Structures are given as structure tokens and as C-alpha cells.
């Protein structure tokens, strides 16, 4: 019996999955040496501070746009203290929970244009934001290890 149209992930499950990832990413930001956040990188890539600000600029803003069409976000990647990033992260965590509940159930399957330029099915765009976080966090793991710091375990999401 083909399972193609079986529904495997509900809205609640996807949000819980992402918030688990976000807890891990927060631990990585917290573990990162403050003086290396915007100064250190490997192979000419962006610093982890810049990557973290990109994640902040995509997380809550994606869900705000999906919920009510407001695609406001910040493209600023200037150096800020680690405490500022963590504060923005925590605010976003609350906003994501609140805004997520406002996404109309049918919206996940609709095609939207995120930030006025990325067109796709809402659920795919949300998956992209999550994957982008996992991808850049994976880079952060390498930066951190190369700085002699033990990163938090990947499987721990509580």
C-alpha cells in the first residue's frame, strides 16, 4: 500500500522539532568565545557571529511573514555583543511560538513569496530555514572545535 499522501509531520511536531534545534543552536552561541564571534573564520567563510545574525534575521521573520504577510527583517550583520544575540534569540523563540499559532492551517501548503523574493510552498520555506540553521550550526561546530572548545552534543535538544 503506497503511503505517499500519508501525513507524517503535523504543525505541532514541526514546531517542536525546530524549537529543539533552536535550543541546541543557542547553546552553541553561548559556548562561543565572545572575542572570536566576529573575528574568526575558516577558509574565507563568514564568522559565526554573522551566521548567527543571519539565523536571527530568518527565523521569526519567516514565521511572521507566513502568518500575516509582514516580511520585515534586518540585513545588518555588524558586530554586537554575544548577550545581544542571545537576547534576540530568546525573543525570537517566544515570537515563533506565538506567530506559529497564527498561521492559517491551509497556509502551509500554499505558495508564498518570502521576503519578496523566495517563492515556494510555505512548508518548504520553513524547512529551508531550519536546514539553513543546521547547516550553519554545523560550520560553527568546526570553528569551535578548531578553537579548542568542546561543542554541545548534537543529539541533545531538551
Residues that bind a second copy (CB under 8 A): 1-14, 17, 21, 42-45, 100-101, 103-106, 108-109, 123-124, 126-128, 131-132, 134-139, 141-148, 154-155
> CA Rg, the chain, in Å?
16
Closer residue to a second copy in complex, CB, 13/83: 13
Closer residue to a second copy in complex, CB, 71/128: 128
Question: Could you tell me the smallest distance in angstroms from the CB atom of residue 83 to a second copy?
Answer: 25
Closer residue to a second copy in complex, CB, 10/79: 10
Report the phi/psi class of residue 70: left, alpha or beta, with left for phi > 0 and alpha for psi in -120 to 50: beta
Q: Taking Cα atoms as reference points, which of 73, 63, 72 lies closest to residue 103?
A: 63
Question: Could you tell me the smallest distance in angstroms from the CB atom of residue 76 to a second copy?
Answer: 22
Burial (0-12, 13-18, 19+ Cβ within 10 Å), 83? exposed
Closer residue to a second copy in complex, CB, 53/126: 126
Closer residue to a second copy in complex, CB, 85/144: 144
Q: What is the DSSP string of 99-138?
A: HHTTS-GGGGGSEEEETTTEEEEHHHHHHHHHHHHHHHHH
Question: Could you tell me the smallest distance in angstroms from the CB atom of residue 87 to a second copy?
Answer: 25
Question: Could you tell me the smallest distance in angstroms from the CB atom of residue 7 to a second copy?
Answer: 3
Question: Could you tell me the smallest distance in angstroms from the CB atom of residue 34 to a second copy?
Answer: 19
How far apart (Å, rounded) are the C-alpha atoms in residues 120 and 100? 18
Amino acid at each position: 500500500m503506497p503511503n505517499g499522501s500519508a501525513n507524517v509531520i503535523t504543525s505541532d511536531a514541526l514546531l517542536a522539532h525546530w524549537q529543539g534545534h533552536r535550543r541546541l543552536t543557542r547553546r552553541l552561541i553561548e559556548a562561543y568565545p565572545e572575542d572570536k564571534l566576529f573575528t574568526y573564520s575558516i577558509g574565507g567563510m563568514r564568522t559565526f557571529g554573522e551566521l548567527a545574525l543571519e539565523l536571527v534575521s530568518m527565523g521569526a521573520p519567516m514565521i511572521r511573514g507566513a502568518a500575516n504577510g509582514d516580511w520585515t527583517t534586518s540585513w545588518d550583520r555588524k558586530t554586537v555583543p554575544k548577550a545581544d544575540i542571545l537576547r534576540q534569540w530568546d525573543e525570537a523563540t517566544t515570537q515563533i511560538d506565538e506567530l506559529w499559532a497564527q498561521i492559517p492551517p491551509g497556509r502551509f501548503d500554499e505558495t508564498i513569496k518570502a521576503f519578496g523574493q523566495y517563492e515556494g510552498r510555505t512548508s518548504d520555506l520553513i524547512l529551508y530555514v531550519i536546514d539553513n540553521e543546521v547547516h550553519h550550526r554545523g560550520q560553527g561546530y568546526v570553528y569551535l572545535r578548531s578553537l579548542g572548545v568542546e561543542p554541545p552534543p548534537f543529539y541533545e535538544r531538551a
